[in-house]
A and B are shown apart, each in its own frame.
Chain A
Amino acid sequence: MPVLERFRLHGRRAFVTGASRGIGRAIGLALAEAGADVALAARDEARLTELAAEIEALGRRALVVPLDLANLEAIEPAIDAAVESLGGLDLLVNNAGVTYRGGFEVHDPAEFDRMFDVNLGAVLFACQAVRPHLAAAGGGVIVNIGSIAGTKGTGLYGASKEAVHALARGFSREFANDRIRVVALAPGQVYTDMGARVRANPDEMNTLLHHTAQARVADPSEIAAAVVYLASPAAGFVTGTTIAIDGGRDFFARR
């Protein structure tokens, strides 16, 4: 098969969480461009409906799935419903994530739980719920969006993302017999609504850029392009690992 053909996702059926904005929205669009039908899950139904129209304009099917990822019991039924509607699933992108205001501390146990439920629990239960469907499709791919914040130890948010990386490694072993690949992707700073707080803080921004070889913030499409690759047959031997897409984040500041 010509090499560029191996990057195509013709006829694949994807489920993307946190698809209404930022990286998730870019992933939804990119997967559709590459040829996939996409179930778009997030809380904001209005934004999802807009995105669905854009995807349909590309000639692909889009399914709007209103879903609060903090509601862990709602995940399996939502995935089952998407399978019903799209006729199966080949790809799950666990992208939904929330920030955490508490840094390294827990002041409100409910806020801590909510952050971990969305960032870790939802990934855990979505992976479990999608497994039989991917297996039934003859195999599939799960891409978990982690964060370079995990690798670098950045607050409890970072801790939750490091857990997501570890989860991908575990599931890659567990699911390999079903021909399911599981990969984590660790973005650095990306130009999204979620990153707005950091961008608004000159000190934090300065430090960040100083520790990034490219000294810039990524566009969401640069993360989405990596998801297309990881989801495609071109990445057939990639599983269990965490791929950093971070413009060269490093411990050492640029001179």
Chain B
Amino acid sequence: MTAPDPFRLDGRRALISGASRGIGRGIAQAYARAGARLALAARSTANLEQVASDVRELGAEVHVFGADLADAEAPTRLVEQAAQALGGLDIVVNNAGDGGHDGLTLDAYRRLLHVNLRAPVLITQAARPFLLESDAPVVINVSSVSAKLGGAEPYGPLKAALSSYTVGLAREWGKDGIRLVAIAPGVIETDMTAGYTSEAWWTDNLPDRVALGRNGQVEEIAGVARFLASDAAAYITGAVIPVDGGWVHRY
């Protein structure tokens, strides 16, 4: 008998928000390959059913939930449904985010505040009782390089808030053995970034902005998310991990 692989997630119960597309879908697939049991959430269940069916082909158990996380009641309800379906929770991935495309109206600001910050907070606090029962509890918040870059729109600042929250709460919950980490992706090729990742003004400037000189792929975030959820990362908490190809501006 060989020692257990600390990078595996066999039997771990994971809730992933924003799982119908992009980074969330990638994380669902990576977790499925690692042996996790999944609860996947998204606003529309149409795409989610397709993700679920792909993930089932990898042999994973998966449950899907429709939830508009801008709604104040939805996050708590989602956690309860997911925990019921999986018989508890070990891993919570707050991935759902709204990039904001409506310009700076009051409604746009509010939606961003609710989806990008209030929802992860509500999900995390609702998950706490379940995480306290887990042998390897972890919360992974998907932040953004824009937390560091800042922004004149609420998206980047709200990601900065999410990172601050992650670091601070890790301190509070450390005594309970609950880890909280944030991933700060750079520009990853997804639907959210499709508007500019192939345009010249962006690609021409990539080498100036990103050390690796290219956009990131979903799998490159998903792999880190798998590592951070696993026992291999058991001593990592309160950290914001940049996964951005080296956002190290040329001077």
- Give A contacts to B, CB under 8 Å: 72-73, 103-106, 109, 112-113, 116, 120-121, 124-125, 127-128, 150-156, 158-175, 240
Q: Is residue B161 within 8 Å, beta carbon to beta carbon, of the partner chain?
A: yes
**Which residues from B are CB-within-8-Å of A106?**
118, 121-122, 125
**Range, interface on chain B:** 35 or more
Q: Is residue B151 within 8 Å, beta carbon to beta carbon, of the partner chain?
A: yes
6 pairs of residues in contact across A and B, judged by CB atoms under 8 Å: A73-B106, A106-B121, A120-B154, A153-B169, A162-B163, A172-B150
**Which residues from A are CB-within-8-Å of B162?**
159
Q: Is residue B127 within 8 Å, beta carbon to beta carbon, of the partner chain?
A: no
The answer to whether A156 and B121 touch across the interface, beta carbons within 8 angstroms, is yes
In the complex, A167→B167 CA distance in Å?
19
Given contacts A104-B125, A106-B125, A109-B72, contact A240 B164 (CB under 8 A): no
Q: Is residue B168 within 8 Å, beta carbon to beta carbon, of the partner chain?
A: yes
B81 to chain A, nearest CB (A): 19
**Which residues from A are CB-within-8-Å of B157?**
120, 124, 162-164, 166-167, 170
Q: How many A-B residue pairs have CB under 8 A?
A: 116
**Which residues from B are CB-within-8-Å of A121?**
109, 113
In the complex, A245→B167 CA distance in Å?
21
Contact of B165 among A128, A153, A167, A175 (CB under 8 A): A153
In the complex, A240→B249 CA distance in Å?
16
Q: Is residue B115 within 8 Å, beta carbon to beta carbon, of the partner chain?
A: no
Smallest CB-CB separation from B151: which chain A residue?
A170
In the complex, A72→B168 CA distance in Å?
28
Given contacts A104-B121, A104-B172, A121-B109, contact A156 B165 (CB under 8 A): yes
**Which residues from A are CB-within-8-Å of B165?**
104, 153, 156, 158-159
B226 to chain A, nearest CB (A): 25
Q: Produce 1/0 per residue, B134-168, CB < 8 A to A.
A: 00000000000001111111101111111111111
B120 to chain A, nearest CB (A): 10
Q: Is residue B104 within 8 Å, beta carbon to beta carbon, of the partner chain?
A: yes
Given contacts A106-B121, A121-B109, A128-B104, contact A159 B168 (CB under 8 A): yes
Smallest CB-CB separation from A119: which chain B residue?
B161
**Which residues from B are CB-within-8-Å of A163?**
154, 157-158, 160-161, 164
- Give B contacts to A, CB under 8 Å: 72, 104, 106, 109-110, 113, 117-118, 121-122, 125, 147-154, 156-172, 238
**Which residues from B are CB-within-8-Å of A153?**
164-171, 238
Given contacts A109-B118, A116-B113, A159-B117, contact A167 B152 (CB under 8 A): yes
Smallest CB-CB separation from A72: which chain B residue?
B106
**Which residues from A are CB-within-8-Å of B167?**
153
Smallest CB-CB separation from A112: which chain B residue?
B118
The answer to whether A166 and B156 touch across the interface, beta carbons within 8 angstroms, is yes
**Which residues from A are CB-within-8-Å of B122?**
106
**Which residues from A are CB-within-8-Å of B109?**
72, 121, 124-125
In the complex, A140→B163 CA distance in Å?
30
The answer to whether B106 and A162 touch across the interface, beta carbons within 8 angstroms, is no
A2 to chain B, nearest CB (A): 33
Q: Which of B117, B148, B238 has the most CB of A within 10 A?
A: B117
In the complex, A154→B170 CA distance in Å?
11
Smallest CB-CB separation from B113: which chain A residue?
A116
In the complex, A124→B158 CA distance in Å?
12
The answer to whether A167 and B161 touch across the interface, beta carbons within 8 angstroms, is no
**Which residues from A are CB-within-8-Å of B160?**
150, 162-163, 165-166
Contact of B152 among A116, A127, A160 (CB under 8 A): A127
Smallest CB-CB separation from A175: which chain B residue?
B152
Complex A-B, nearest 10 residue pairs according to Cβ-Cβ distance, in ascending order: A153-B168, A169-B150, A166-B160, A170-B151, A162-B164, A163-B157, A170-B150, A159-B161, A153-B167, A174-B152
**Which residues from B are CB-within-8-Å of A162?**
157, 160-161, 163-164
Smallest CB-CB separation from A242: which chain B residue?
B150
In the complex, A156→B152 CA distance in Å?
20
The answer to whether A105 and B147 touch across the interface, beta carbons within 8 angstroms, is no
Given contacts A72-B106, A112-B118, A160-B161, contact A173 B152 (CB under 8 A): yes
**Which residues from A are CB-within-8-Å of B150?**
165-173, 240
Smallest CB-CB separation from B110: which chain A residue?
A113
In the complex, A163→B164 CA distance in Å?
9
**Which residues from A are CB-within-8-Å of B121?**
104-106, 112, 156
In the complex, A34→B154 CA distance in Å?
33
Contact of A170 among B117, B152, B169 (CB under 8 A): B152
